[in-house]
Amino acid sequence: MSRPEVLFPLFAEMETLDGVGPKTAQVFQALGMSRPKDLLYYLPQSGVDRTRRASVREITPPAVLTVEVTVGGHFPPRRKGGPYRVMVRDTLLEFMVVFFHARGDYLQKLLPTGQRRLISGKVELFDGVAQMVHPDHVLRPDEADELAGYEPVYPLSAGLTQRVVAKAVAAALQRTPDLPEWVDGALKRREGWPDWHAALVAAHAPADAAGLAVAHPARQRLAYDELFAHQLTLSLARAQLRRGKGRASAGTGELQTKVMTSLPYAPTAAQTRAISEIAADMASGLRMNRLLQGDVGSGKTLVAFMALLIAVEAGGQGVMMAPTEILARQHHEGLEPLAAAAGVRLVLLTGRDKGGEREAKLGDLAAGRTDILVGTHAVFQKDVHFHDLRLAVVDEQHRFGVAQRMELGAKGEVADVLVMTATPIPRSLALATHGDMDVSVLDEKPAGRKPIRTALVPSSRIDEVVAHLAQATAEGRQAYWVCPLVDESEVVDYASAEARFQHLRATLGEGVVGLVHGQMPPTEKDAAMAAFVAGRTKVLVATTVIEVGVNVPNASIMVIEQAEIFGLAQLHQLRGRVGRGEAQSTCLLMYQTPLGEAGERRLKVIRDTEDGFRIAEEDLAMRGAGDLIGTAQSGLPRFRVADLERQAGLMALAQSDARKLLADDPRLTSPRGRRRARSFGCWIRIGRSA
């Protein structure tokens, strides 16, 4: 689609703007701004109050003063490099304006004795006398209107000044067309938002500090445009994916009822809600692409199994894929009693299956004799064929990519996809990164789960912790001991898993302690995990490889060494490895003193709550969106105005608006839809990053 002519001036060279030469254009280019359009979203980050005062007496130094003065005598420096002073008088007082390394002839022209000038700059006291060093502005009275009462301050780099940026931005704004409105009129009136062009002008010319806040109507409007464009893109992708679905999978409820009646507890309201959302998706004629988000211990596995039973009740098959063999085996063991209650055939397929055994499993799968398959990435292999795959359940999405997820879905001609994650994601980030998916949230824990006692312990008390551990293991209990690094580091004094393993083995006994870390060969790692799961070893020293998914109900103690260096989400995931059995569980967060402010805040949040969603929100507030997910692998979009940490509600609004627009007018072919599409298409060209 060709660029509309009305936008040509915004796509010209930067040198066509007032005050921008080749060198300045290069500086702007280094900041990612190569066209005038890019300056529109280069918003001021702070501002200076330039309100006119009658006299220096009206302020308390140090403070910025804007005042009209009569210029008095000039006092050149007595020695080289000394201060050049100019005496000035306002309506009440005399004070000094001071310059360093300035030419006398230039200053005589700038501040001619006997004439009036408007000056603005920071006033400080020096030996009890008020003085303004290097004023920011010196203007003739007839130029005074050029100085705004509140001056925006832009982020700068070497080679740029505030004046150059302000002049270039003003020139870019003059070239900006007043595009027809694309935001829904009722929404715009309700929120009190200005038109797009007016919002840009207001954002670059704030009347006061409130004009810089994310809550200001102009900034909210510009942020909404960004978020709406992002969500519209995701909604189009979602609609495209769902249009590929050709048939419905409607369950009879027969197998689900058998499982529910076999359970010793009732499902939570959140589980019941999630199951109905998934059932409605599967029964519709559209392909399901849903994220099941639940905190540690919220019962995601039961929900996922019910979804798999819907696929079987509809006459098809289901598959559940885990990122590691340990987790696949664990899922299989956990689901076996449920499969037995339902009377369905559940089979495990991993890379270890070889020869005749593998061929038999593949034959049963292709013939439809296997109802539900549990496996690792081995289910991707070309020789794995399903008779009628209806549902693919993917555990821990962040452990493998979207392409793999789609490949798994492609194993069935029209397979629904359900992704599970145990990592609570703040709402704004979930919408930003999973906006193409529908989301079910499990925000309750099953009744009867005992809270985990969490305590902060200084590392100086390690001997007490080890003694407590010796007593607990003698009573038959099991414990995890998590260390941050594998090897000793000379640079950073972090605990080493290898060294801690040796120390605990020497203290607790030869066969009592196991070790697992990411640098071990897979067979050794699996053997160490298997020994701990079977209860042959009582203490497992580990790095964060045990963070996700491992389920050992008898393990009731979690020791995290140097807990202050872990992130909140990681600490929460690690703590979730205990509290899965009947015994009262304990998590000890060991820290090195002195504890920094940020470290102390993190540890107190973990100590005071087990609510993963509250912890995730705290993590977002402390670290920011990019750090929280890890920008490189998160796919987190870069927004220039929108603030994900503080505008979660705006993101949710943008998503519902984008989905409603496409639901009402899927191809934007109505007269209003076409107008919005044309206008918004212009914005997309202007608004996207250079």
How high is the pLDDT of residue 74?
95
How high is the pLDDT of residue 538?
94
Which residue positions in the chain have pLDDT lower than 70?
1-2, 237-246, 396-414, 423-436, 446-448, 485-495, 545-550, 620-638, 645, 671-690
Domains within the chain, CATH numbers bracketed: 53-147 (2.40.50.140), 254-442 (3.40.50.300), 453-609 (3.40.50.300)
493: burial class by Cβ within 10 Å (0-12, 13-18, 19+)?
A: exposed
How high is the pLDDT of residue 690?
35
Does the global pTM surpass 0.85?
A: no
Read off the amino acid at residue 175.
R
What is the distance between the alpha carbons of residues 613 and 620, in angstroms, rounded to a whole number?
11
What is the distance between the alpha carbons of residues 578 and 477, in angstroms, rounded to a whole number?
11
| Three-class SS state of 391 | strand
273: burial class by Cβ within 10 Å (0-12, 13-18, 19+)?
A: middle
What is the distance between the alpha carbons of residues 574 and 551, in angstroms, rounded to a whole number?
11
Expressed in angstroms, the distance from the first to the final Cα of the chain is 18
Contacts of 634 (CB under 8 A, 6+ apart): 433, 626
Q: Is there a contact between 269 and 258 (Cβ–Cβ < 8 Å)?
A: no
How high is the pLDDT of residue 632?
33
What is the distance between the alpha carbons of residues 504 and 301, in angstroms, rounded to a whole number?
35
How high is the pLDDT of residue 272?
94
How high is the pLDDT of residue 156?
82
Contacts of 565 (CB under 8 A, 6+ apart): 484, 494, 599
Task: Print the SS3 string covering 418-444.
Answer: EEEECCCCCHHHHHHHHCCCEEEEECC
How high is the pLDDT of residue 354?
83
User: How many angstroms from the chain centroid is the CA of residue 411?
Assistant: 31
How high is the pLDDT of residue 163?
84
Q: What is the CA radius of gyration of the chain?
A: 33
How high is the pLDDT of residue 432?
59
| Three-class SS state of 143 | helix
Phi, psi (degrees; rounded to nearest 5) at 132:
-115, 115
